Amino acid sequence: MRERSMKPVSWMKSKSNVRKACGKKDLLRLGESLKVRQIQPVVCQPDGTLLAGQRRWRAAKLVGLEELEAIVTDEPLTDIEIKVIQLTENIHRADLRGFEKWEACCELLKLNPDWHAKDLAEHLWLDPSMVTRLLSPSKCILAVQEAFAKGLLGISDCYAISKAAEDEQSGLLRLKLGGASRDQIEAHRRNHWNGSIQTVVVTRTQAPSTGVRLQINGIVDSLDDAVEWLGRMLATAKDAKTRGVGLQGWAAAIHRNGGS
């Protein structure tokens, strides 16, 4: 059962939340806005424990508000369900740091060992591609994760770096800290990766239904890389067709350019 009503700020109490950073200046600004209008109620358990809205509660205390609108639910909730409620509310806020989002997503996956990224996306109402990006720091070396925690790079930078092999990531991090953009990091990674495509071979087969077999020999570190590379191959094939280049000519051109 859920009940929506005004509740004393003093009755509410905090529990661990995915949001770690609450700057005083931002809280004061939020508190002043709450004096005018509270757009979204906080969510509490019957004993006053906050499930969602910890930042609003802190802001209200800071500016001396006595009451907040609250939804009180007596539904039995596990720690995992509470964490999902908190993260679902916070993950869509622009001011939640990327590092906080990553930490919370990792914690949810740890609490739910049977979950995959698609399950996390479903529970958080996010596109699976966004969850892939949010989880990308997990594929990065410790130095990248530490720089991410300090705010020296963003989630898009981590995603770009995560697609490189671990022994390449230190170099990409140095590029980023030296002022390189995410696109420059991606370009540098692609240029290094192109050398790993070894051969492209086109052979004739006996099967009349196909006639041609295309064999690509190379090294691909992840499914993301495979999808990206195949997309680029499709684009070059379409371009070759437009220019009237045959299959053998297209394969030869790919081989000469190192798979690019």
Is residue 118 domain-shared with residue 15, that is, in the same domain? yes
Is residue 117 domain-shared with residue 225, that is, in the same domain? no
pLDDT recorded at residue 214: 58
Nearest-angstrom CA–CA distance, 32 and 226? 51
pLDDT recorded at residue 260: 46
Q: What average pLDDT score do residues 165-174 get? A: 90
Question: Of the given ranges (100-104, 115-119, 221-225, 235-239), which has the lowest mean pLDDT?
Answer: 221-225
Is residue 107 domain-shared with residue 158, that is, in the same domain? no
pLDDT tens by residue, 55-110 = 899 999 999 999 999 989 888 877 777 777 777 776 766 667 899 889 989 988 88
pLDDT recorded at residue 211: 54
Q: Is 227 part of any domain?
A: yes
Domain carrying residue 237? 197-256
pTM of the predicted model over 0.85: no
pLDDT tens by residue, 196-221 = 444 444 454 444 555 555 555 554 55
Query: In 181-206, which positions are buried (b, 16+ CB within 10 angstroms) versus exposed (e)?
Result: ebeebbebbbeebeeebeebebeeee
Residue 120 buriedness (CB in 10 A; 0-12 / 13-18 / 19+): buried
Q: Is 76 part of any domain?
A: yes
Is residue 236 domain-shared with residue 220, that is, in the same domain? yes
- In this structure, what token pair is assigned to residue 218? 């190379």
Contact 204, 212 (CB under 8 A): yes
Q: What is the DSSP string of the chain?
A: -EEEEEEEGGG-B----S-----HHHHHHHHHHHHH---S-EEE-TTSBEEE-HHHHHHHHHHT--EEEEEEE-----HHHHHHHHHHHHTT-TTS-HHHHHHHHHHHHHH-TT--HHHHHHHHT--HHHHHHHHGGGGS-HHHHHHHHTTSS-HHHHHHHHTS-HHHHHHHHHHHHTT--HHHHHHHHHHHHHTTEEEEEEEE-S-TTT-EEEEEEE---SHHHHHHHHHHHHHHHHHHHHTT--HHHHHHHHHHTTT-
The domain that holds 90 is classified in CATH as 3.90.1530
Looking at the structure of the chain, the number of domains it has is 3
Q: Is 165 part of any domain?
A: yes
CB count in 10 Å sphere of residue 38: 18
Q: Is 82 part of any domain?
A: yes
Is residue 211 domain-shared with residue 169, that is, in the same domain? no
Looking up tokens 């399950």 gives 119
Is residue 81 domain-shared with residue 10, that is, in the same domain? yes
Q: What percent of the chain has pLDDT over 90?
A: 30
